[in-house]
Amino acid sequence: MNTFVLNRRNLLAAGGSVLATGVSGLLLPARAEGLAPTPSMPGGANNYLKGAPTVDRIGKGGFWMTGTVRRAGDGAPLAGQRVQIWAHTTEGREGDQRSHGATLTDKNGAFRLEMPQIIPIFGQPHGHLAYDSGEFKTVFLRPVMRSAKDTSLEAHFVLQPA
């Protein structure tokens, strides 16, 4: 015969577990629907040029743009996705064709493209990235470097079906 003893220890444990599940459920509503898609950032599409060529490296390199592309909901990595990258660098302005290039994600959904050093422009050292291949909704990102001396920058896409 089981007797449930309502002592201090049981009460704390039960109350704690209720709190833990309840509160986390409130704080993380996104969990129920899975990973939320990344919204486009303000100014992300500025100086975008359609159809940047897929390249091994933009210009002479020296700076790394890295990131990942995942699917909204389950967060599955998306392989073979084309990511376009451009920025104001030591070799050209944002609007210059030679400042633009594209790369593809690997099987883990990661991308990595070498490019010239990004230089602060319009008051912030920042880069631009675009996904606009059509299969998923178009997203433009505009990550800002913590310091103008950084030699890498990362940006992450979570895409939703178009």
Partner 1 sequence: MRLAKVTLIWAALAAAICVPIAAAAASPLLAWRDPVYILAGFAGIVALGLVLVQPLLIGGYLPGLSAYRGRRAHHWIGGALVVAVVVHVGGLWITSPPDMIDALLFSSPTPFSPWGVVAMWAIFAVAIIAALRRRLGLRARTWRVVHMPLAIVIVVGSVVHGILIEGTMETMSKAALCALVLAATIKVMADLRVWRKRGTSRGESVT
User: Residue numbers of the site for partner 1 (CB under 8 A)?
Assistant: 41-47, 88-90, 93-95, 119-125, 142, 144, 148
User: Rg for the chain (alpha carbons), in Å?
Assistant: 22
Q: Which residue number, 94 or 114, has a Cβ lying nearer to partner 1?
A: 94
Measured from the CB of residue 35, what is the shortest distance to partner 1 in angstroms? Answer: 23
Which residues, other chains included, contact 52 with Cβ-Cβ below 8 Å and sequence gap of 6+? 84, 85, 86, 100, 101, 102
Which residues, other chains included, contact 108 with Cβ-Cβ below 8 Å and sequence gap of 6+? 68, 77, 79
Measured from the CB of residue 73, what is the shortest distance to partner 1 in angstroms? Answer: 27
Measured from the CB of residue 142, what is the shortest distance to partner 1 in angstroms? Answer: 6
Measured from the CB of residue 161, what is the shortest distance to partner 1 in angstroms? Answer: 26
Q: Which residue number, 76 or 122, has a Cβ lying nearer to partner 1?
A: 122
**Rounded distance between C-alpha atoms, residue 59 and residue 91, angstroms:** 7
Residues, the chain: 162
Q: Which residue number, 83 or 87, has a Cβ lying nearer to partner 1?
A: 87
DSSP 3-state of 101: strand
Q: Which residue number, 10 or 151, has a Cβ lying nearer to partner 1?
A: 151
Give phi and psi for 140, each to the nearest 5. Answer: -115, 130
